[in-house]
Amino acid sequence: AQSVAQPEDQVNVAEGNPLTVKCTYSVSGNPYLFWYVQYPNRGLQFLLKYITGDNLVKGSYGFEAEFNKSQTSFHLKKPSALVSDSALYFCAVRDMDMDSNYQLIWGAGTKLIIKP
């Protein structure tokens, strides 16, 4: 069965420090991975995706994520956190080998708090 795990409910980081939000996944085929961000009272905004190619993908707002096939992980990173990065972050996966499978499977979300 497909699943996504975000092991941390909340991550606290001081402004200017690097941040990591963890995500691991389980699919039977090749994964198609996403990160989305949700600000209070707003919809889900696309940050970045991995389909194939370079394991390090760069996205919006200075975020990047590293695909690690052996560890089935897709952790979100940023070298220097901003207070405005405080939000709820969701990891999602789709099984690329299932042509009829359009749905995204979501993690539970990680609340990122950046302290000044």
Partner 1 sequence: EPEVTQTPSHQVTQMGQEVILRCVPISNHLYFYWYRQILGQKVEFLVSFYNNEISEKSEIFDDQFSVERPDGSNFTLKIRSTKLEDSAMYFCASSGFSSYNEQFFGPGTRLTVL
Three-state SS for 61? helix
Cα–Cα separations (whole angstroms), residue 50 to 34, 69, 102, 103: 7, 12, 16, 16
| 111 touches partner 1 (CB under 8 A) | no
The encoded tokens of residue 41 equal: 């009272």
| 50 touches partner 1 (CB under 8 A) | no
Q: Are 93 and 2 in contact (CB under 8 A)?
A: yes
| 46 touches partner 1 (CB under 8 A) | yes
| 31 touches partner 1 (CB under 8 A) | no
Q: Fill in the per-residue mask, 71 to 100: x = in contact with partner 1 (CB under 8 A), - = not in contact.
A: -------------------x-x---x---x
Question: What Rg, from alpha-carbon coordinates, does the chain have?
Answer: 14
**99 alpha-carbon distance from chain centroid:** 23
Query: Of 56, 83, 108, 113, which one interacts with partner 1 (CB under 8 A)?
Result: 108
Total residues in contact with partner 1, by rule CB under 8 A: 24
| 5 touches partner 1 (CB under 8 A) | no
Which residues are near partner 1 by CB under 8 A? 32, 34, 36, 41-46, 49, 51, 90, 92, 96, 100-109
